[in-house]
Structure 1
Amino acid sequence: MSVENVSAADADAQPIPKEQLTNGESKLDEEKLKQFFIGSIDQGTTSTRFIIFNGTGEPVAQHQIEFKQIYAHSGWHEHDPLEIVDSVNRCIDQATLAFIDRGHKVDEIKAIGITNQRETTVVWDSNTGEPLYNAIAWPDTRTKGLVRELKEKEGADKLLNLCGLPLSTYPSSVKLVWLINHVAAVKKAYDEGRLSFGTIDSWLLFHLNGKMEKNVHVTDATNASRTMFMNLHTVQYSDELISFFGLDRNKIKLPKIVPSSCPNSFGSMSDGLLKGIKIAGCLGDQSAALVGQQGFTPGSAKNTYGTGCFLLYNVGDKPVISKHGLLATIAYDFGRSRKPVYALEGSIAVAGSGIKFLMNNLGFITHSHKISELASSVPDNGGCVFVTAFSGLFAPYWIDDAKGTIFGITQFTERGHLARATLEATCFQTKAILDAMEKDSGHKLTELAVDGGMSNSNLCMQTQANITGIPVDRPAMRETTALGAAIAAGFAVDIWKEFDELKEINQKDRMIFEPNISKEEGDKMFKKWSRAVEMCRGWLSADETKDEGTL
């Protein structure tokens, strides 16, 4: 999504520059750091990109490719795992060629980091390295019936305290169980002990290291914490959790869990223009965004507006198990005898994908960046509230039996009202997550750092500030997810050595959106949203939430 030209209708939503730090001298040797480069693979839900950053965190070359989204049935969302690998390789080649064209040499790239869509699940044959089925993407809801059954199973009430995640269609565990139960090739591989499981990071690392040549099968702690197989407290796989899902650990190969920043665990590029360069960092995308936003101190938070929307709140070196519908997760683990850092997370299934829905399904706009222009064509939502429950509702509601619902439509309703209601839906859910985080942590957030495609919209960010009642802090360089992976890799190979150095990266030219409506007005808007959420609850009956579709 490109940067918006703000129209007259939302001219009052102009952000103000953030005051730059003036106390003390910079700890960055910028001239020296501009001679070092780190590559970053950012493998997202709808596209892949490769960005080469210098040591000050500035992008110097990049390439992006969108890939096919597969929707075989209602509620299903898949990717071709080989197409994902191909998109990564092509992005690396094109960005590296651009890097060389700018007068640089490949050996100036000191390391590569990876960040990835997290819960998306891949299974492959351990003997041949070939995928056994399409990757099941994280928003996929075909497992609704399975989740309902698992919630009734003995021991279900213990899972949250062990792994920090509630039972839902979201984590990798239920996707893996579905594959074993429904795909004959996967079941056969499982029975014969040749089933390899991983999230996208593991699948890419396996391929980038030459597949069977080195047979690298690892994952980092942030990605492992999204499977429901890892004990959040020990950062190791739990036999109790694996057994709960009816899986025999001897029949399945799980990736080894390693720190997010490590010079040796992730191997190196086996071929291509970057052959021999170390892969030294790996973070799930939302953890990478927190690192890219320098969220290194307890109490810092970021919100990423991508396909979905994800808010992470740093809680320090001990996990906080939520009592208010949030996820407990690993924020990052930089190794070297340091303790892992934990976060509370609120996950919203639909953010940018809501805009894509208006564009692709309803034809409201021709390009995603036009959403603000359309939404600004009206002064407000005209009484419309859009509960974008395309995949049910995630945190803090966890309503699996909801569907997308628009309330308040009249003959007065225009496309602009629905566009504005679509943007507001993400902002309302962010407010609900922030309220839950305040209850869990005992602290009210005073500022929200933002990034991702929708953050380019001044109207959306001003709406977010108004609804939450706190300032919204937007960086000038919004590729914070890719930057986080680059930071993890650069830290591993000593481009940076202290966290204090990292805190200065990407802090220039940030903009602040201050609330410009009263608290009472914001609360009134949120109350109407909350009423709409309750009204969409229970749209699907029990028999309709059984596993959807047939193979």
Structure 2
Amino acid sequence: MCGSEDGYVLTLDAGTTSVRAIVWDHEGNPRGSGQYGVTQFYPYPGWMEQDPEEIWHLQWRAAEDAISSAGIEKGRLVGIGITNQRETSVLWDARTGRPVYSAIVWQDRRTSSYTDMLKENPGELRERTGLIPDPYFSAPKVRWVLDNVPRARDLALLGDLRFGTIDSWLLWKLTGGRVHCTDHTNASRTMLFNVNRLQWDHDLLEVFGIPGSILPEVRPSSFTYGYTDESVTGVSIPVTGMIGDQQASLFGHTALSPGQVKNTYGTGSFVLVNTGNRPVVSRELVTTVAYSLEDHRAIYALEGSIFVSGAIVEWLIDGLGLFKGVGELVSQAEVVADNGGVYTVPAMAGLGAPYWDPHARGLIIGLTRGTTRAHIARSALESIAYQTEDVLRALSSSIRSRPSELRVDGGASGNDFLMQLQADISSVEVVRPGILETTSRGAAFIAGIAAGIWHLDELPRLYRVERRFQPRMDRSKREDLYRGWKEAVRRSMGWSGYGRP
């Protein structure tokens, strides 16, 4: 161990539905935490927004809770690591520090028509950015704000507008407006960043009509970005790491070798495979920067982004009121031996990888008079596993190798029934670690390397496996179920225009 045992790392984890903060010790164990839910706004169908100021205030409140529950003084923090929902975009006035518009969340679909036009000739954009034209990414959101929010473009032309994903916004607030930066992983999610050259792409800025002056500087993920403003945080603390949440999860799993794969089961699901120090281009998946250290070249990953997974469970509980909670939904799913021919396609925000159809919409199909809510519960959980299998098949085609192991994290990964479903449907060993807060842990590792707490090569010894799930399903049954899933997906695609005046 290269760092002092007296030092602690604080991680700020700004997720889609909540913000969390965790204090980590030198052995990579959580010592204190805090968490608050973030308000979601849906002004119109397909739109999703959040309040950037609420995100900031709740994030630091969670940090104060974490420090208090850890029972340490702030002066013992040797670094802060920020991890975040990635493509969500904030634009603010540099003079006042106030947002000019709400944060447009990664699930927002308002720019679908515009990105449809980009899909007519996606080759060069994919080659430069590794991304597929979709409303998911930041550039169309930024363009929308510049075109639709009064004075936004004027502020940009005057040099007074700033853009950032949530990491940049939090860093700006923490440092009292002194530092405007992002890291390679978050920059690679904007559709404005050349992943081959690791710099902003001026040609793409012209395509989107976005002034380069609003962009943050790009730095390695593990890097001393600056120090917090004492008037904000009480003491001056170095911010030593920033990394997008899904890349943080990959790093937290210590998936440091090419071919290692993880999936995070959260609001959406995100499957990433480490591809080493070269970007791999795929027709169905996106190329992204996995992480970067100050003295190393960037490491890349292929990613399959699934927009709705755990959110389908929340919708059945809170939206439809079919179940009182997750426990009841899972227990109902376990009652039936199979899905009874029922499939749920949770395309509430369109379909991500490998389909990339923003016009797809959710459906529940195969209903009969014999269908019960137990069948619907099971089909919802199965949909999470099927979507992961979609990505694993695309991934296997892209890297010409089928993974034998899938490392998992996120809230739903704690569910034994779902993890066994995943092992069965994908015929893969599912590996669950002892610490499920893998995203925050990855952010701690990234920040801790720059702070001198850890070396990269010693991280794998800190990874502990809690349980392994082995596949048990017969191959013919698995393939039959999967064929039904693919047909259900086909029927959900291109639906958004129907039934509206």
Corresponding residue of 2:458: 501
The residue number in structure 1 matching 2:214 is 253
Q: Equivalents in 2 of 1:35, 1:267: separation in Å?
A: 20
Over the matched positions of the two proteins, sequence identity in percent amounts to 39
1:184 aligns to what SS in structure 2? coil
Query: Match for residue 74 of structure 1?
Result: 45
Shift of the alpha carbon at 1:533?
1.0
Residues 1:514 and 2:480 are matched in the alignment: no
CA distance in 1: counterparts of 2:136 and 2:77, whole angstroms: 36
What is the rounded CA distance, in whole Å, between the counterparts of 1:240 and 1:288 in structure 2? 29
Q: Is the 8 A contact 2:229 2:235 kept in 1?
A: yes
**Paired amino acid for 2:244:** G
Instruction: Assess, with a 3 A threshold, how the Cα gap between structure 1 residues 541 and 364 changes in structure 2: closer, same or farther.
Output: closer
Scaled by the length of structure 1, the TM-score of the pair is 0.88
Q: Is the 8 A contact 1:33 1:54 kept in 2?
A: no
* Aligned counterparts of 1:289 and 1:333: Cα–Cα separation in 2: 14
Contact between 2:291 and 2:300, CA under 8 Å: does it hold in 1?
yes
How many pairs were matched up? 501
**Match of residue 538 from structure 1:** 494
Matched position secondary structure for 1:419: helix
8 Å contact 1:96–1:273 — kept in the other structure?
A: no
Change (3 A) 1:371 1:271: farther
In 1, Cα distance between the equivalents of 2:232 and 2:324? 36
Contact 1:266 1:281 in 2 (8 A): no
One of 30, 37, 42 as aligned partner of 1:59: 30
Matched, 1:326 2:285: yes
2:170 maps to which residue?
204
**Residues 1:177 and 2:143 are matched in the alignment:** yes
Structure of greater relative contact order (alpha carbons < 8 Å, 6+ residues apart):
1
Q: Provide the rounded CA distance (Å) in 1 between the counterparts of 2:102 and 2:446.
A: 29
Structure 2 counterpart of 1:167, from 133, 138, 159: 133
Other-structure match for 2:159: 193
Letter in 1 for 2:25: N
Aligned in 2, Cα 1:190/1:414: closer, same or farther, shift over 3 Å? Answer: same
Deviation at 1:379, TM superposition (A): 2.1
Give 4+ residue runs of structure 1 displaced > 6 Å after superposition.
Answer: 542-545
Contact 1:315 1:341 (8 Å CA) reproduced: yes
**2:312 counterpart SS class:** helix
Offset, 1:205: 0.2
**Structure 1 residues 453-492: aligned runs within 5 Å:** 453-492=411-450
Alignment partner, residue 301 of structure 2: 343
Letter in 1 for 2:277: D
Which shows bigger deviation, 72-81 or 362-371?
Answer: 362-371
Pair 247,330 (structure 1): closer, same or farther in 2 beyond 3 Å: same
Q: Structure 1, residues 107-128: CA drift from partner, whole Å, max 9, x if none?
A: 3221110100000000001222
Match status 1:88 vs 2:63? no
SS in 1 for 2:442: helix
3-state SS in 1 of match to 2:461? coil
Q: Deviations for 1:228-280, whole angstroms, at most 9, x for unmatched residues?
A: 1100101100111111213343xx410000000012x2433534555211110
TM, length-normalised to structure 2: 0.96
Equivalent residue in structure 2 for 1:109, among 77, 80, 95: 77
Q: 2:15 aligns with which of 44, 48, 52?
A: 44
Change (3 A) 1:496 1:533: same
Is it true that 1:353 corresponds to 2:311 in the alignment?
Answer: yes
Q: Give, in whole Å, the separation in 2 of the partners of 1:425 and 1:34.
A: 44
Residue from 382, 391, 402 that aligns with 2:360: 402
RMSD: 1.8
2:346 counterpart letter in structure 1: T
- Mark the CA change 1:197 to 1:544 in structure 2 (over 3 Å): closer, same or farther: farther
Structure 1 partner of 2:190: 227
5+ residue gaps, structure 1, are: 1-27, 546-551
- 1:25 alignment partner in structure 2: none
Matched-pair contact (CA < 8 Å) for 2:157–2:211: no
